[in-house]
A and B are shown apart, each in its own frame.
Chain A
Amino acid sequence: MIQAAFWLLTVVFVARLYLVARHNASTAFLGATGVGVVGLFCTGQIVPESTLDALIGGTNWLHLVRNLLVTAAVWLVREGVFSALSTEPETKQRVTRRPLFLAALLLAIVIPFTLQSFVPTTDAFIPETVHQPAVYVYATVYMAVLGGLGLSVLRVSIGPRDSRTVRASATVVGIGMGLMVLGCIDEIIYMSLRFAGFSSSLTDMAYLLFTPFFYSGILLTSLGLGIPPMVRLWRRLALVDRFWILVLHCKFPALKAQGERFAFAVDVLGPRPAERLYTLVIAIGDLRAAGQQAKYSPAAERALVLAQRRLTNTFEPLGLELRKRAEI
């Protein structure tokens, strides 16, 4: 699951980077996804934790680095979600949205970490060292910070939106954050039980539940952040429009008589396919009118109707629309 989250977030990061570099898209979630990718890389799923940790001393500093990166990534997600969705005007002035607040959160995690008795790199850092008060405080503060940030994103994300894409993306991110919060609560319970000296089936269950909650949350958050760039790329490719352009060219060979105005290859592969499809549909209608409503083959008629439906799927019947007026 951690690997899946890493690769998904990497794809989302690359897609967002491409859209920012080539199409001047918003950079709001670019930092969040980029920092998140580095954070997930530090989990040891891609390169063994011992190898990476050895580079920075071999005493589990990687654990701290990863947690700081995840905290920063979640804070950046929160920043983007608040910028886009928060309707309260005073939200922008909130202390919690200032970079200094993030720095304070990170410091609150770093300080207890440095006070522990360091041990050599281990894959089970928390289970093996949580009996140390410094490690317990460090990990509890980290989980509390992350849970708090996640909860605030969840509160803002869920709700009706004008845009279907934003609603889908925000809802998936919100659910992801909700799962992450559950993971944080579960981990605090687990660590508290272990710190208090309890070792039972409840402790084991709490330990086992953390990864499914927490990383499925990260996975869903990554998926949610990936929805808008994927929709944008899908729209840019406009494969459905290109398909109907291809079909209309095949079904209405009379278009060839219009000479260079409708060149097959340029129409199918060229830019602005929706406008090309519109122009083709109108040209076919004009051809028909010029030929006094000449009949085309049933297959051609069907293709024309479907191509029009592609362009008009939000419209009411024309007669009804022409009787309506709307306030401007």
Chain B
Amino acid sequence: MGNQLLEPTELSLRTIESLQLPASPTLPHLISAVERAYGKPLEFDEVADEVLADGVTGRWVDMPARGLIQYRRGHAFWCRHVILHEFGHILLGHKGEPADGLESAGFFSGVGKRRGISWMCRPTAIPLEEAEQAAENLAYALAQRLVTGQDTCVSNAERIFGL
């Protein structure tokens, strides 16, 4: 079967389209687009291993005036993917409260309801639960735009020249 590539779902593709990113987006383009969709500024924080629970690589903390994305220390490339995953939660409108019916929020449900703060986290275990699967799918689709899909963006001149 091989390396099972995540095919972008209809939802992921629709979500990316709604961001109206340029043809060759960079991470700053994406952050700006996510902040616009989110309606709040985002902060990023690289945290030590002990800050996050075992098996959790990153988390998004939704606060009234801003959002905080914490990611586990690691290679920059992998950290970037963890951040893309949290972007997935934000863009898909996930909430940390158990009331939204997403079991994945249960891990932090105790703290999630305090003072209007909610949490979403990215676990390393596979298979991922529903919300995590959706966020991971969107993360891979975003990565495709940022990294692996760069070569497939072809301008009119490139197309005519034969690229």
Contact = CB atoms under 8 A, between A and B. Distances in A.
Interface string B38-80: 0000001010010000110100000000000000111111111
Given A282-B81, A285-B78, A311-B147, A228 B162 contact: yes
Most A CB contacts (10 A, CB to CB) among B46, B55, B148, B159 go to B148
Contact of A267 (B2, B27, B75, B158): B2
A328 interface: yes
Interface string B87-118: 00000000000000000000000000000000
A84 to B, nearest CB: 4
Given A267-B2, A285-B81, A288-B74, A321 B49 contact: no
A322 B44 contact: yes
20 contacts: A19-B162, A26-B160, A80-B160, A166-B163, A169-B161, A170-B161, A231-B163, A232-B162, A260-B1, A266-B2, A267-B2, A278-B148, A279-B5, A281-B77, A282-B81, A286-B78, A289-B74, A290-B124, A292-B54, A328-B33
Contacts of A326: 26, 28-29, 31-32
Interface in B126-156: 126, 140, 143-144, 147-148, 150-151, 155-156
B3 A163 contact: no
Interface of B: 1-6, 19-22, 26-29, 31-33, 35-36, 44, 46, 49, 54-55, 57, 72-81, 83, 124-126, 140, 143-144, 147-148, 150-151, 155-163
Interface string A51-93: 0000000000000000000000000000010011100000000
B29 A166 contact: no
Given A289-B78, A328-B19, 10 more contacts: A261-B126, A265-B2, A266-B3, A285-B74, A289-B72, A293-B73, A318-B76, A322-B83, A327-B32, A328-B20
A326 B2 CA distance: 37
A190 B38 CA distance: 73
B22 A270 contact: no
B38 to A, nearest CB: 13
A280 B140 CA distance: 12
Nearest to A30: B162
Contacts of A170: 161
Contact of B49 (A228, A279, A292): A292
Contacts of B150: 314
Contact of B21 (A232, A281, A284, A328): A328
A155 interface: no
B151 A235 contact: yes
A324 interface: yes
Nearest to A33: B162
A308 B161 contact: no
Nearest to A241: B148
Given A311-B148, A312-B147, A163 B57 contact: no
B9 to A, nearest CB: 15
A235 B149 CA distance: 12
A227 to B, nearest CB: 8
Contacts of A229: 162
A274 B73 CA distance: 24
Contacts of A274: 147-148, 151
Contacts of B55: 289-290
Contacts of A319: 46
A94 interface: no
A278 B160 contact: no
A280 B3 contact: yes
Interface string A283-306: 011111110110000000000110
A151 to B, nearest CB: 20
Nearest 10 pairs of A and B residues by beta carbon: A266-B2, A285-B78, A84-B160, A228-B162, A326-B28, A324-B28, A308-B77, A274-B148, A318-B76, A263-B2
